[in-house]
A and B are shown apart, each in its own frame.
Chain A
Amino acid sequence: MCGIIGYTGTERVASDILLTGLSGLEYRGYDSAGLSVSGESLMVYKRRGEVSALEAAVPDEGLDGTAGIGHTRWSTHGPPTDENAHPHTDCTESVAVVHNGIIENDQSLRDELEAGEHTFESATDTEVIPHLIENALTTGASREEAFREAVSRLDGSYAIAAVFSDSETVYAARHESPLVLGIGDDGHYLASDVPAFIEYTDRVVYLDDGQFARINPAGIIVTDAQGAIVETAIETVAWDPEDAGKSGYDHYMLKEIHEQPRAIRQCLRQRVTELDGDVTIEELASLDCDGPVQFVACGTSYHAACYGAQLLREWDVSAQCFLASEYDAASIPVSDGTLVVGVTQSGETADTMRALRAANRTGATTLALTNTVGSSAVRECDHAMLIRAGPEISVAATKTFASQQVALAMLASVLSETCSAPPVKRLRTLPDQVQWVLDTSNARSIAETYEDADAYFFIGRGYNAPVAREGALKMKEITYKHAEGFAAGELKHGPLAMVSDRTPVFALVTGDATATRTLGNVTEVEARDAPVVAVTDSPADVDRYVDHVLEVPTAGPRLTPILANVQLQLVAYWVANRLGRSIDKPRNLAKSVTVE
């Protein structure tokens, strides 16, 4: 959940680079931030709140030093306060440490250290690390040995970076939390994620679990747990540094909603040929699966995964979808032929990673469907398929959901032998149809009409059911209003009790077979005086049943829900906008959830 960054190089004012990097990581977590720069002594600044609060605390001329580390924190141990913000130091303030992850044995280590007369200033698990290093240093160990010694005592998940006073070197270690190194011309970087330093370099080295790194202006050295030097491959990330800007939009979320046509095109590129009606996914050429498919995912990705599972079932492949946090490979029948697909935007989601590791242990084939090249999920799984949506900064996922749906539709048609050509053909017209929705949507005026409703309900059947749940999730995430999504038929089995004239119901009425039955549910809620907004591809037929219509083009029963979702994204965005919410960084949420 947290983000870390480290820098060492020839730039005298390391604090500027660290601050820039931290703002690039803000999406990962943001209830406090801090940095430390090694000059003649160790300078540590940390503040509760957003990175801008830290920026104000750091002297205007910056901190003079060539090595430093920084951190944005999303609280797991201890409330968000200045004290609990990283970096943490030892008693003598000779080492500063930032950490992402959870140390499971922190209480026993803390007891041991406190008995050894170490004084703790914070309630965090992280603070044991600098004290462990201090202990090791007093035994005469070198700085690197002390760092290794301290890390070897830790149980749990971590990406750690440490910097010592009067030093040009940053030490780092990784176990089950993301860490990537960046190789630049004027210095080297480490971070939880590439956007932290993409402005300076696109050449990166991904660390594996159990590896250590030492970076100083002369270069980077990666070693394994035993201290042997590891040969590392330098990869070039394709993200354009400019992709991180808002390009004139008020919010990243609105920008990303509008980027969906391009994201879908990217996702389809060189994978779908229309005249042959063929889908080829190069990176899955070696995937051979006819057995059952199990999806594991969380949040928005889970809704996309449900959609993928439905497609597969329609095309005669047995498929199930699980919430990753509830997935327990021990009690789910996994055979050798089972393909377990982890759907995760960041490729770092802890719940999904745990499920994938469990699946790997059972011998199932695993596949990561993700947006992030070289992420933990990609390296954990036997196969990986990229959704190519480009970086998504807004915490509320929008374009990656659309890209996941499109990628899953392609994946389903590759896995299934009975899938027919028309949906494949229609995939290619989809980006243009999304553009049409963006150009013509009246979601803004509907949002204005219902901005002060008590609650919002979303209903849909079949392929629309996951979209209804996703519509409600988006509404909850960014408006902080009560919202629920149901399979339309479920409404009358309970939730109908909550429906009143102050709870607008958004009905997804697309596709021929299920539309009429959903309209039946619409009349149920209308009888309770609830205003109804239909998202539909046949406005002429639906108009007379409902109060408002959000129109989408027809893309067939399987793909129209992708278009319907765009309308719901826009409604949620405009409601949140009217309410003045912090849209890109909603309270209590973080983009990449790296705790279980």
Chain B
Amino acid sequence: MNSVSAVVLAGGEGTRLRPLTQHRPKPMLPAATTPILEHVFDQLLAAGVTEIAIVVGYGRNRVQTYFGPTYKNVPLTYVTQKNQFGSGHALLAAEDEVDGPVLVVNGDQLVEHGIITDVLDAHRKTTTAATLGLLTHIDVGEYGGVLLRDGQVTTIVEHPEDERPYRLNAGVYLFDSRIFDAIRAADPHTGEQSLIDGIQELLASDAVVQGVISDGLWTDATYPWDLLDVSFELFEAGIVDGSKGATTEASATIHESAVIREPIVLGPDCEIGPGAVVGPYVCLGDNATVGSNAVVERSVVDADTRIGAGATVVDCVTGVGVTIGNGTTIPGGPGDVRVGDRIFEDEHLGALLADHVTDRGGNTYVPGAIVGSDAVVETGATVRGTIPEGTEVRP
């Protein structure tokens, strides 16, 4: 198998990451300073993939303009999934682009290339209807679980709740063409055609589905604060080099009196003003600015964001084009966060400021605060809880 083609499912919004996903899909959220999807492509390329089809849907313009027609000389084909009716439905959209066995991965989950290589190798050794990449992982309940017997998958479920010895479904699949009919044959649950249902259908039809247990980095941002962990894991795994010399783009400007504490990663055109202290564990996206004497720690700051003079920003996730005014304090630390109608206690999230939030300075954020896109926080406010998009917050 000299040419390896992959389908990347990148059409979903990622509703649990709202409000960050208001304008762009989850695969385009930043892991360190580049979109999660770019890391996914890097790992696919490292595993020897030679062509990639991407199923795009929600926010597809963002994906297409960012990557264009090729990524590092690997041709990209975009397939539009008009409505998002589940992962199986997404794969069906790419059916015409696929000829022969196909590797399928999620565009919003970061998987180290070793896991992908293991799946490809296993398929080369024993050709089956499907080969699944698996991990031994504690939090199977949050994701998908697989039961194995003699290397063959017997059961696959989403969010397993019982205590059987489930392996984590890493979301790395190698299918032959039978999967498409299996997805079509499976009963849609609540109007969605899931890939998992398709695999269950394969199992029901007595097709052989094998599982390969690997290890390596596997990370998925389910909730906004996970974006911090995802980025930090990239530093730990060495996928992103956090040393100052390695990551400082030639076009970043750092004032000589600023202090940089590794690991950090800076995008092009960043500016760090005099006396600022940036790091450790800070990712500054393209064209971000940190004003004089500001302190930024353990934060993922997306492109075009400006942090004012004397601001303190800790455990913070920002979207693009956010302004954090002079002297605003985001002290960080554990706090209670509300997502939809669930409350998560003691999550490490100083604040989440979605795209284009404007903070006029001199404000304080209680840990766990989530501010929706385009909101304006006037000077002198204390921000807590969840603020809807476009809101004007007055003290």
Contacts and interface: CB of A to CB of B under 8 A. Distances in A.
Contacts of A433: 321
A246 interface: yes
Interface residues of A, number: 31
Contacts of B273: 275
A554 to B, nearest CB: 10
Interface stretch (A168-176, A263-271, A509-517): A263-271
Contacts of B320: 432, 435
A439 B61 CA distance: 9
A6 interface: no
A249 B56 CA distance: 12
B96 to A, nearest CB: 14
Q: Which of A240, A269, A270, A429 has the most CB of B within 10 A?
A: A429
A432 B304 contact: yes
Interface string A219-262: 00000000000000000000010110111110000010011011
Given A247-B67, A275-B291, A431-B304, A265 B56 contact: no
Contact of A258 (B65, B77, B251, B255): B65
A248 B289 contact: no
A273 B304 contact: no
A242 B67 CA distance: 10
B287 A265 contact: yes
A528 to B, nearest CB: 35
Contact of B269 (A242, A249, A268, A440): A268
Given A258-B64, A269-B269, A275-B289, A436 B69 contact: no
Given A248-B80, A429-B321, A273 B271 contact: yes
If over half of A's interface residues share one DSSP class (helix, strand or loop), that class is named, otherwise mixed; here it is helix
Among B78, B80, B306, B356, the most chain A Cβ lie within 10 Å of the Cβ of: B356
A275 B287 CA distance: 12
Interface in A418-458: 428-429, 431-433, 435-436, 438-440
Nearest to B56: A248
B292 interface: yes
A431 B292 CA distance: 23
A201 to B, nearest CB: 15
A286 B321 CA distance: 35
A541 B62 CA distance: 31
A430 to B, nearest CB: 9
Contacts of A431: 287, 304
B33 to A, nearest CB: 14
B302 to A, nearest CB: 10
A280 to B, nearest CB: 12
Interface string A264-299: 010011100111000000000000000000000000
A479 B253 CA distance: 45
B269 A265 contact: yes
A442 to B, nearest CB: 14
Which of A249, A436, A439 counts the most B-chain CB atoms under 10 A from its CB?
A: A439
Given A242-B69, A440-B23, A428 B304 contact: yes
A240 B255 CA distance: 33
A247 B80 CA distance: 12
B141 interface: no
A443 to B, nearest CB: 13
A151 to B, nearest CB: 39
Given A248-B56, A248-B80, A262 B65 contact: yes
B70 interface: yes
B68 interface: yes
A248 B64 contact: yes
Contact of B271 (A242, A268, A274, A432): A274
7 contacts: A240-B68, A242-B70, A249-B64, A255-B65, A265-B286, A275-B291, A439-B62
